Structure 1
Amino acid sequence: MKDVMYKYAKMELEQFAMFEENMKNEHGEIQVQTEAQFKYDKSQHVLCSKITVTFSNGESPLMRAVLDSYFLIHPDSIIGITDSEGHIIFPTNVLVQFASLNYGSLRGIIHLKTLDTKLSGYILPPIFFNDIITKDYIVE
């Protein structure tokens, strides 16, 4: 396992939308869909973790939130995760860390943005990203 030195560069709430009019029952069951994506900017040494969460009620969306968290990767770490062919390989444990940090931030944002709304009773459930992210991210 390789350690990667980084710092949080910034967070951007790319999208946040609520569709309370689609809510049939304030205490009814909802579906939660979560997507995680990564992209890397070689020139800036910045890895972006994008988390998209959608709450829905059957076919109708109730809420959608997209949060981008940007992590500045230390140049020494980039050297340490670059293979002999020049590919930068972000190990799964690092991706799990970044996704978890981003997801936790999004949980808080959703909680705050849904206060005093019909969606305030729904908490974004925890996710164990180590069960989901199983492959390294290879930047060519």
Structure 2
Amino acid sequence: MTISYRFSKIETKQFAIFPDSFNTQKDIETTINLNFAVDLRRTNIRCLVTITASQNEKRILILELACFFDIAPEGWKEIQIEDHWKVPVEFLRYIASITIGTARGVIHAKTEGTALNSFILPPFNLTEGIQKDYIISSKDVNIPEI
């Protein structure tokens, strides 16, 4: 199955660093949370990633980033099954990979010139992190005809 899409928008919802709490000699605990949402009126899927980096339970970095992927009308038809849409887990992992890569770039660019620029977002296993298709029911939302 091929879902035609276009990477249409990036939004940095939140970004903060706390370089005074950063110690290059200590381990960094990183948390990555992913969330998906669908805006069927604009036919896009949003992937939101929230990244928190901490040392000794003190936050040193937070980033909340949204990437928007416009889905072509034929893409919506491809994933429609009777009265619902099923976004395949493989596609979710794919757009999550793009979003996490974008987050790495944002972190690098926004920490340039600070001690936190040495922080590299560690790999994230998307196969473990995203395990199910995303089901959208037409009963739950007002779906326009495509």
Which of the five TM-score ranges fits, normalised by the shorter chain? over 0.9
Give the match for residue 12 of structure 1.
Answer: 11
Taking the TM superposition and a 5 Å limit, the aligned residue runs for 1:39-118 are 39-84=37-82, 86-118=83-115
Cα distance in 2 for residues equivalent to 1:128 and 1:32: 13
Query: What does the per-residue CA deviation read over 1:51-93, in whole Å, with 9 as the maximum and x for residues that have no partner?
Result: 1110001221100001100000011110111111x21110000
Between the aligned partners of 2:57 and 2:25, the Cα distance in structure 1 is 17
Amino acid at match of 1:12: E
- Aligned partner of 2:6: which letter? K
Unaligned runs of 5+ in 1: none
> Given the alignment, which residue of 105, 116, 120 partners 2:117?
120
| Secondary structure of the structure 2 residue equivalent to 1:126 | coil
User: For residues 123 and 68 of structure 1, what CA distance do their matches in structure 2 show?
Assistant: 19
Q: How many pairs does the alignment contain?
A: 137
Runs of 4+ in structure 1 deviating by more than 6 angstroms, as ranges, are: none
Q: Secondary structure at the match of 2:77?
A: helix
Which letter does structure 2 place at the counterpart of 1:43?
A: R
Letter of the 1:17 counterpart: A
Q: Normalised by the size of structure 2, how large is the TM-score?
A: 0.89
CA distance in 1, matches of 2:123, 2:59: 20
Q: Please, what TM-score do these two structures have when normalized by structure 1?
A: 0.93
Contact 1:27–1:121 under 8 Å retained in 2: no
Unaligned runs of 5+ in 2: 138-146
Q: How far does residue 27 in structure 1 lie from its aligned partner after superposition?
A: 2.9
Displacement of 1:32? 0.5
CA contact (8 A) 1:83 1:89 kept: yes
Between the two proteins, what is the percent identity of the paired residues? 31
